[in-house]
Amino acid sequence: MSCARQQELLQGYLDSELDLAGTLEIERHLQDCPNCSREHRSQAALRAALRNSALNYRAPDRLRTSIRAALPKTARSESARRSFQWQWMALAAAALILAFTVWTSRRGPAVFPNDNEALAQDVVSSHIRSLLVNHATDVTSTDQHTVKPWFDGKLDFAPPVGNFASQGFPLLGGRLEYLDHRNVAALVYKRQQHLINLFVWPAGKNNSSGEVVSKRQGYNLIHWTSGEMNYWAVSDLNSEELLQFVHLVQGQ
């Protein structure tokens, strides 16, 4: 794939609109091209920043009233008519949602794949924030025997820390993060030009679940639980190699 072709597909890739062939094609290119990989990270970070609710601004009521008063009478009438139509559309949509809720409740509880949607978004936001402020690690070391003791006294658990440099996933260090209403460990790894954040914290009970693979804002996420621990891996690395990394973590 040429860089020009990558530029054509990048927006569709970030919006998860590409088919499987297109997704694999662009992920292979991003893996091999540092320039396009940087552009991808930059675009993903910009999208995340623009979604920040702090950037939203609602005009004051006084200004809204002044603008409406300055409009011609016909324009105000048209605006009122459209507002009335939207109100009826909203009521109709609410009725449909209520009907669907009643129907599904009669069929039994629904199982949704996005039960962790809010948490998944927080994981991606933490990953992007570490890239934007250039603060991937609080402790920088390739030695797990340095990184793991650093968390002593900072967390109420001991995160498992491994170094997979021989398999192409070297440890860079770790830092503290706040997710799921608690302090968690963020272990940072690298695959060529791609950073991987591995977030770890107690699951609360001894159970295990298989990997759940998803994509948010152009980043791949893999979530699983094992040995009373929650794990979230996130990166712009392609999903195949990120899953390879996850299997290394699970086998340590």
216: left (phi over 0), alpha (psi -120 to 50) or beta: beta
- Tell me the domain boundaries of the chain: 3-55, 61-107, 117-250
Q: Cα 224 to chain center, whole Å? A: 15
Residues pairing with 195 in the sheet = 190
CA-CA distance, 234 to 219, in Å (whole number)?
7
Give the angle 199-200-203 at the CA atoms, nearest 5°: 130
Rounded Cα distance between 44 and 124, Å, is: 10
Tell me which DSSP letter residue 227 carries.
T
Per residue of the chain (252 residues), give pLDDT as tens.
Answer: 678 777 777 777 777 777 767 777 877 787 788 778 777 777 777 766 666 545 555 667 777 677 777 766 655 555 555 655 555 565 555 555 555 444 444 444 333 344 577 888 899 999 998 888 788 999 999 999 999 999 999 999 999 999 999 999 999 999 999 998 899 999 999 999 999 999 999 987 666 678 889 888 889 999 999 878 999 999 999 999 999 999 999 988
Domain over 117-250 is classified CATH 3.30.200.100:
yes
**Which are the contacts of 243, defined by CB distance < 8 A and separation ≥ 6?**
211, 213, 222
pLDDT at 177: 93
pLDDT at 99: 52
Nearest Cα residue to 148 out of 136, 165, 160, 164 = 160
